[in-house]
Amino acid sequence: MDSAAFHEIDSFFESAPPLKDSAKITDKLNQFIQFDSPSGEVKGRRVVCVTSGGTTVPLEQRCVRYIDNFSSGNRGAASTEYFIKAGYKVIFLYRRGTCQPYCRSLPEDPLLECFELADDFNFQVRESHSEAVKGAIRDHHAAVADGLLLKLPFATIFEYLQMLKIIASAIRTLGPHAMFYLAAAVSDFYVPWKSMVEHKIQSASGPLDMRLMQVPKMLSVLRTEWTPKAFCISFKLETDSKILLEKAIMALKKYKMHAVVANELLTRKEVVTVVTDNGNISVHRDKTWAGSDVEDPLIELLVNRHSTHIKDPST
């Protein structure tokens, strides 16, 4: 990376609004990483940071309006479940309000739809949702109790990137056992905090004309400076299939990722292509089973690749 790129990144962090609770987040992370699971095996345990959901770009400091990046959070939530099943500790960095691990089969408003009043004092789970509710509670509680799941919410691009940096510094000591799985949809353009108006933009002033700056690319600095030994997977999303693979290969080379998962908006739940230096692998959802997820074979493949990386971190 050249010095201009470092300067751009430094000035992004210097001018960002300070992250609330950053000391608390660091404490939580350190506790999570050091937590001895009831089964006792922490040494050499793999930790993955799964990012999920879209980042927002506020247009006013006292934000009324913002630009958003599309992501339901389903990819991140599903992947988290499969990583935990594979024995990983997962730091789930997610956009507040998006899909959560173990809740994917629940309706949108679970409290109102899954429960009913039994009498004036008690409520109960509706028969139709009882398996889904029991499963969600059991699996989520087990993951948290075993020290395998830490959930950290963000909303803005400023919060997301500051938290990513804190996470990187917390898991750096794990060397090749650490992994980043960057499924969040991250804003490419933003309004720097210092040039952002404080109050709500007035519509009486006519059409809105505003200049957005490019968000500095943090993937290179994450890969080469923050956690040089970690296994790094990023995602590439396109709507035009003709340019998808070429863009993913570019990202792989430019940011020195270990793999880039390429996906198209419309088919993202059916198929993804894992792009690596040794070629591309198409990963499909198992169509013989209605409840299957493409994340199941995807995480299996990445876990195997991570094992190879741990044996030889220079790969």
Q: What residue ranges bind ligand 9Z3 (CB under 6 A)?
A: 71-75, 182-183, 185-186, 234-237, 263, 268
Burial of 23 (0-12, 13-18, 19+ CB in 10 A): exposed
Degrees, nearest 5: CA angle 165-83-181: 35
CB of 246 to ligand 9Z3, least distance (A): 13
Residue 150: beta bridge partners? 91
Of 64 and 243, nearer to ligand 9Z3 (C-beta) is 243
CA dist., res. 256 & res. 238, Å (int):
20
CB of 73 to ligand 9Z3, least distance (A): 5
CB of 266 to ligand 9Z3, least distance (A): 10
CA dist., res. 148 & res. 152, Å (int):
13
Of 161 and 174, nearer to ligand 9Z3 (C-beta) is 161
Question: Coil, strand or helix: which one is 146?
Answer: coil
Of 59 and 293, nearer to ligand 9Z3 (C-beta) is 293
Of 26 and 273, nearer to ligand 9Z3 (C-beta) is 273
Token readout for 277 is 């230096």
Question: Coil, strand or helix: which one is 4?
Answer: helix
DSSP labels for 287-301?
A: TTSTT--THHHHHHH
Of 29 and 263, nearer to ligand 9Z3 (C-beta) is 263
Of 26 and 98, nearer to ligand 9Z3 (C-beta) is 98
- Across the chain, the runs of DSSP E, i.e. the strands, are 47-52, 56-58, 66-68, 89-95, 115-117, 123-125, 149-154, 178-182, 189-190, 213-214, 231-238, 259-264, 271-276, 279-284
